Amino acid sequence: MEMKSVSSQKVENCLSVLRKMLEEAKNNKQNAIGYDAYEYFHHREKVLEKLTEELSSLES
């Protein structure tokens, strides 16, 4: 698989969006009503954390 170079500005922009989405998921999880809603936002939070970690590793 060929790796394409990604500009650091694009990576930073993506990280910014992911961090905002992660913060939103954390807030929604805290305010969730019912177990299903909590689980949904908890899962979303974990996925966004993993994506943020992976993208951050590309940045360095």
Q: What one-letter code names the amino acid at 60?
A: S
Q: Is residue 34 part of a domain?
A: yes
Average pLDDT of the chain is 87
When divided into structural domains, the chain yields a total of 1
- Structural domain includes residue 36: yes
Question: Is there a domain that residue 17 lies in?
Answer: yes
Position 5 in a domain: no
> Cβ contacts of residue 7 below 8 Å, gap of 6+?
none
2 in any annotated domain: no
Q: Are 57 and 10 in contact (CB under 8 A)?
A: no
1 lies in some domain = no
The alpha carbon of residue 45 and the mean position of all alpha carbons in its chain are separated, in whole angstroms, by 7
3-state secondary structure of 7: coil
pTM tops 0.75:
no
The 10s digit of each residue's pLDDT in 4-27 is 676 888 888 999 999 999 999 999
CB atoms within 10 A of CB 48: 20
Q: Please check the confidence at residue 33 and state whether its pLDDT lies above 70.
A: yes
Domain range holding 26? Answer: 10-59
